[in-house]
A and B are shown apart, each in its own frame.
Chain A
């Protein structure tokens, strides 16, 4: 069962539906016979990976689409064995450094060296280089990025690197300067609606414009998510009703509940209940940062104008704490406690 989001992913640059200017540039790059290292960045669901795949296809032809998943074992300096899975074709290899944890430097170095030291053997290929795609490049540790910097220069003859990340903030400057920066912005709501209509047509279903608008808005301009939402809505109820509620993830509803209970009463007992809810969300692998953001945004939306800056300030403070600390629950709870205290004080002052 292929999901729609996979099934209708445009395979070639020609089929891409938005960011036409960018598409032209990519086409020229791919056609020029050479390719610089690329750093593709943009928000999630904007089409970074789709574009990377399309560029690969443009360069190598349909052969680049024959993907296989392979496993390899790396050995760390401390003799730990790491099992890493890769997606690869004859022409490229994709790696996700977060699989390797703190040992990403080893994985990146080994992998790149290995690829760089073997020449492209496929005779059909017009290109002499292979491509390494690094997903989640902003998760690369500093060590790994420095390792990358060296290898990027050293093995330029045989290999190109495409880094894919949500922002350039966590990529060190030397790596950035060796790459061509490609920004893939999030699609506008209208563009998302277009794509939804396109997919719906291919699937042979009709989506009322109102529903498409709702989905696009609910997806927060994340096309990947919008397509998943469309399919989920379709599975749930079809034909669509105009007023069909948008399917939101359970955890979002759950964080909304947390915010609501923080607003309803401000006692330590209530905080205790909220702690249980927070634990529950965390247990479902929702990243603490996401939880904090969701709760904070709900709260900011609900409180008095005068309190908003203070709540935002506290959210930022505890976001920082989440980054430095280890036990997410402590910081999330401290944020809620702080909010309760501030809110209660404000309520008493105004009444």
Chain B
């Protein structure tokens, strides 16, 4: 471990040459490999103890691997954020000399790191997407260098959204390399406390403060001129790119707030005095955060169903949640969405790796052996668009077939004179591996198994036949948590019921399930039982002969719907629950704002929504509409919208009243939607901050 050189500010950058011999070859060391960074070494412990030594290292220091670390550097290590380290030997700790054969890299490395694309042409991303990102980066780099054209000052933050393994980070790195930008990456520090709050007395800063420091330093400090061993200097004055791939734990409230503040401050800096930032938001990461936060949310939600808790929003975690609204909505922030990689592209990427490994030229598309081709196809189909997962699977599948590594130290790409070993891989083995890994059902697959509740033909005259899908197995293999799945079942079950008796029995089970799930407060197995009650209850009720309520409507397995469509083709819906919840919260806030601003000021403070909405609002809206001019512009329209659910019989006068007020005073809200309909998306935005 002592071989590893650590520097205070590191650039994961890269010389454009593909084979920089014994240099710090950071281009190969893909920065995603947090695993490599997590290793605690014995001297790190010692370093932390010496944290009080004088400040940072001299900017220039040749990375002599065996040299003892000076104290300055130790300090830099122990109480600064751990920036990405340039590595003398990527993953080759055990190799004695820096001149070790490149081939030995492979022992410790995964293929997805090793064979990460080096050029934009190799990226498994749609070329239009690459062009978009490249365009943004060029503009941003120009702006940072002070030679940007008009409007390029807005290129401050780029958000790349997408599922895991869709090539977001790789795309940024490859393009940065091609554009000659140094990438400064934020890596979450390992040995710090979670928050500043917990130990305010200590002067050790928490993650959030460190993030701010990181941003400040990235702006202030010039790129360190690292002098590589062969004496070649890096090109001076290269632009930099701040990459935030490893987002701080924003599930933690204090950290989240400081993170947002730091970003807000960052946006406020003019472009030419700073560097552009790329934030990579991975969706699976996000889902996890939501779950962590869920306990707290549930407690609040339970307590007061109609309270105006502005922070409780049950939207899906996305870039919207990671970035503050003021940043995300500002012109300084652009978003580019990456989609999951299509199976054909995954297969192409896998073939490329196989070709590289077998020593062929990846550009020429030689045929693979049929078995291998089948395995590649199977992996590509099963990886759900996660390229990284696909490559790992491939490596795993081939692990047994490959000969022992390290015996032929030729160049990496020319290694392996035995293509047969690769091609002879057993396709069945790869597929089998895929099966083992694929523990989760696709959401709609699971839903379909439950909703159709198919039964095998009855053996005896009296029985109903066995369920083809075992409910327990479905629940075991859910892609989401049980509560969410329950909502999906609830949203869709009515389409599959044919008689009110069936619907009532199923609905009762759903009600039971919700009551059960609420009682456990997240502890114990209550939610498991609840899901079982809901799913099994529905599956039992569906098509039950005793619930069919007479012979008029016999429950049959597949029946056309009323409008003639076959039920078998029915599309599942997403639960309306979340949208409704969000709407209710928005209405609640709006109501409170209006009430506090309007005539009911004192009443509004004295009464909860549960009385304000049903008892006062409808009348108040009418009075306000009649005297519209006395309230603020637009108020009557907003009130009328709040008061009138749907298009009740009384809605017409409201439209008229609203229209008259609108004519008098043009109001953006009313102009957007003159009907007293539920609030539109843009209205909610106005009040949610």
Contacts and interface: CB of A to CB of B under 8 A. Distances in A.
Contact of A344 (B301, B500, B514, B515): B500
B333 to A, nearest CB: 27
Contact of A1 (B253, B506, B630): B630
A331 B304 CA distance: 17
Main secondary structure of the interface of A (DSSP, over half): helix
Contacts of B549: 341, 344-345, 348
Main secondary structure of the interface of B (DSSP, over half): helix
B248 interface: no
B224 interface: no
Q: Which of B517, B620, B631, B646 has most A Cβ within 10 Å?
A: B646
Contacts of B304: 98, 101-102
A298 interface: no
A87 B631 contact: no
Interface in B622-662: 622-623, 625-627, 630-631, 642-646, 648-651, 653
A268 B562 CA distance: 11
Contacts of B646: 254, 277, 280
A3 B600 contact: yes
B588 A232 contact: no
B508 A334 contact: yes
A342 B500 CA distance: 9
Contacts of B302: 326
B678 A253 contact: no
A98 B503 CA distance: 37
A272 B497 CA distance: 11
B81 to A, nearest CB: 24
Contacts of A225: 615-616, 619
Interface stretch (B373-381, B447-455, B604-612): B604-612
B678 A283 contact: yes
B677 to A, nearest CB: 10
A283 B680 CA distance: 13
Interface stretch (B46-54, B68-76, B161-169, B305-313): B305-313
A241 to B, nearest CB: 16
A213 B527 CA distance: 52
Contacts of A222: 615
Contact of B606 (A2, A135, A247, A326): A135
A98 B608 contact: yes
Contact of B511 (A135, A229, A331): A331
Interface in A304-351: 318, 321, 324-331, 333-334, 337-338, 340-342, 344-345, 348
Interface in A37-88: 44-45, 49, 67, 69, 79-80, 85-87
B510 interface: yes
B66 to A, nearest CB: 48
Nearest to B487: A327
Contacts of A345: 501, 549
Interface stretch (A28-36, A151-159, A284-292): A284-292
State the 9 A-B residue pairs at the shortest beta-carbon distance, nearest first: A235-B626, A249-B618, A341-B504, A228-B619, A285-B613, A337-B507, A334-B507, A334-B511, A232-B622
Interface of A: 1-3, 6, 44-45, 49, 67, 69, 79-80, 85-87, 94, 96, 98, 101-102, 135-136, 139, 222, 224-225, 228-229, 231-232, 235-236, 247-251, 253-254, 257, 266-269, 271-272, 275-277, 279-288, 290, 318, 321, 324-331, 333-334, 337-338, 340-342, 344-345, 348
Given A136-B608, A228-B623, A286-B614, 9 more contacts: A1-B631, A45-B615, A69-B602, A102-B299, A232-B619, A235-B626, A254-B646, A283-B583, A321-B511
